[in-house]
Structure 1
Amino acid sequence: MDRRNFIAKSTQGVMGTWLASKGVAAFAQGNFQEGKHYQRLSPALPVTVPKGKIEVIEFFWYGCPHCHAFEPTLADWVRKLPADVVFRRVHVAFRPAFEPLQKLYLSLEALNKVDAVHRKVFQAIHQNGARLDRPEAIIDFVVAQGLDRKEFTDTYNSFGVQAKVRQGKQLSEAYKIDGVPSIGIHGQYLTSPSMAGAGLPETDGQVRVLTLADQLIDKVRKGG
C-alpha cells in the first residue's frame, strides 16, 4: 500500500499460460534484472550490524493489507535465515497519522514483545476491523494481549521511542521508500513483492521477492 498503487495486480493471458506450464516455483527462480526487479542504492547506505553480518530490513505499515498478507510468508523465511543475516523491521510513517502505529511497533520492540503481539496487531486491524489509530485504543489493545498498562504507556511515550521514530523516518527517506512492503538488503539494494513479481499475482510476488532477497544476500556475501 502506498502513494502510487505499489502492489501489482494479477495478470492473465500469456503469463498465466506460461505459469501453468512451467510452474510458479520455477518462475520464482527467474532472471532478475537490476532496475526492474530491484534497485541498487548509490551510494550505499551505512548499516547497523557488525562486520561479517548482513543487514536485511523489511519496511512495513500495520495498516497495509499487503504487509498483512506478506507477513506469514516473510516470517517463515526469516526463521530459516543463515546465521550471518540480521533481520529487522522498520515501520514507516508516510503521514503523521501513521505515527501511533509506528510507536506501537517500536514499543513492542523495546519491550521484547514483537513475537508475542506483532501478528495480532495485523489480525486486529485487517480481520477484526479494530481502529488502532489513537494511543488510547492502542494501549487498551496491548493490555488485552497481556501487557502491563503502565510499562507499555511509559515505553510508548518515552524519549527512546520518539528518537527511534525520527531514526525510522530518516532511514525510510534514505532508502527512498515510497511503498510497502519493501525489503532493503545491507544498504545496497532495495526490492519489493511488486517489483520482483511485476505482472504476477500478489502471492507469487511474495515468493519471488524472497528468492531475489536470497540472491542479493549472497551477492553481498561475495562482495557484490
Structure 2
Amino acid sequence: MNEHPIQRLLALLAMLLAIAAGSTITQAAAPFQKDTGYNELSARQPVGHPGKVVVTEFFWYNCPHCNALEPELDAWVRTQPSYVVVERVPVAFTAQFIPQQKLYYTLLALGKVDSLQGAVFQAIHEQHIALNTPDQMATWLAAHGIARQTFLATFNSFGVAMQARRATQMMKDYGIDGVPTMAVEGTYEVSGDLPQTPTDERILKAVDYLVGQVHAQQASVR
C-alpha cells in the first residue's frame, strides 16, 4: 500500500532532523570550532617536510605575550612526536623589527637557538636589557660565549638577510597582524584573540587538536 503524501513528508522531515542532530553532535564533540577556536586561511600556504605536520610560530622578541608563551611552548615542543616539525618565524611589522628578526636567524645559523631562545626573552622582559641593535646584541651575546666578531659577521651575512626577508613575506602571506600566532600545516591559525583560546594553554591545546586532525587526514590518503 502506498504511503500517504503527509506520511512521506513526515518521514523526510524526520530524516533531515536526524542528519542535523548528528551534525550538531559531531560539532559539539570537537573541542575547538572554526572561527572561535581557530581560523582557516583563505589560501593554503606552502610548507616543507612532506609527510610531517608543520607547526609555525610567528613571534617578536619584545612582545610580552610571546614571552609569556615561550616557556610553555618550549615544553610543548619537547613532547611532540616525530611527525611534528616546529618552525619559528620572527615578524617585522615595521623596519624597527628587522634587527631582532636577524638576531633569531643569526642564532639559528650559529646553532644557538635551542640554548639561547628563552634567554633572549628573559633578558628583555625580566632583566630589562635592551636588545634592539646589533651592538647591544653583540655585547649581550659575548657574555654567553659568542664572540662579538662571529656574531656580527653572521648577523650581517647575505644568508641571514635573505631569511629575514623571507620571514617578512611569510608574515604577509599568512596575514599575520598580531603575535604570538601559531599556524598548522599552512592551513589553520590559532591566537589568543579567539574566544576559545584566550590563554597560552588553550592556544597549545587548539594546536594539538589541529595537529591531530591534519595527521589523521595525511594517514587516510597514504
Conservation of the 8 A alpha-carbon contact between 1:101 and 1:133: yes
| AA of the residue aligned to 1:134 | T
Counterpart in the other structure of 1:25 = none
Is structure 2 residue 89 aligned with structure 1 residue 95? no
Unaligned runs of 5+ in 1: 1-28
**Alignment of structure 1 residues 118-137 onto 2, 5 Å:** 118-137=117-136
Unaligned runs of 5+ in 2: 1-28
Counterpart in the other structure of 2:23 = none
Aligned pair in 2 of structure 1 residues 223, 42: CA closer, same or farther (>3 Å)? farther
CA displacement, residues 167-216 of structure 1 (integer Å, 9 cap, x when unaligned): 00111111111010110101010111332645x5xxxx111111111110
RCO comparison, higher one (Cα < 8 Å, 6+): 1
Q: For residue 30 of structure 1, report the CA deviation from its aligned partner.
A: 7.3
Q: For residue 166 of structure 1, report the CA deviation from its aligned partner.
A: 0.8
SS at match of 2:159: helix
Conservation of the 8 A alpha-carbon contact between 2:35 and 2:194: no
Conservation of the 8 A alpha-carbon contact between 1:58 and 1:88: yes
Q: For residue 221 of structure 1, report the CA deviation from its aligned partner.
A: 1.2
TM-score if structure 2 supplies the norm length?
A: 0.81
SS at match of 1:166: helix
Q: For residue 37 of structure 1, report the CA deviation from its aligned partner.
A: 1.8
| Structure 1 vs Structure 2 CA RMSD | 1.6
Q: For residue 151 of structure 1, report the CA deviation from its aligned partner.
A: 1.5
**Alignment of structure 1 residues 108-123 onto 2, 5 Å:** 108-123=107-122
Conservation of the 8 A alpha-carbon contact between 2:55 and 2:184: yes
SS at match of 1:97: helix
Conservation of the 8 A alpha-carbon contact between 1:185 and 1:217: yes
Counterpart in the other structure of 1:45 = 45
Q: How many residues align?
A: 190
User: Which aligned runs of 4 or more in structure 1 are off by greater than 4 angstroms?
Assistant: none
Is structure 2 residue 190 aligned with structure 1 residue 191? yes
Could you tell me the percent identity over the aligned residues? Answer: 42
Counterpart in the other structure of 2:211 = 217
**Alignment of structure 1 residues 18-167 onto 2, 5 Å:** 31-49=31-49, 51-167=50-166
Conservation of the 8 A alpha-carbon contact between 1:197 and 1:206: no
Counterpart in the other structure of 1:181 = 180
Indicate the structure with greater helix content. 2
TM-score if structure 1 supplies the norm length?
A: 0.81
Q: Distance in 2 between matches of 1:48 and 1:62?
A: 25
Greater C-alpha radius of gyration: 2
Conservation of the 8 A alpha-carbon contact between 1:103 and 1:161: yes
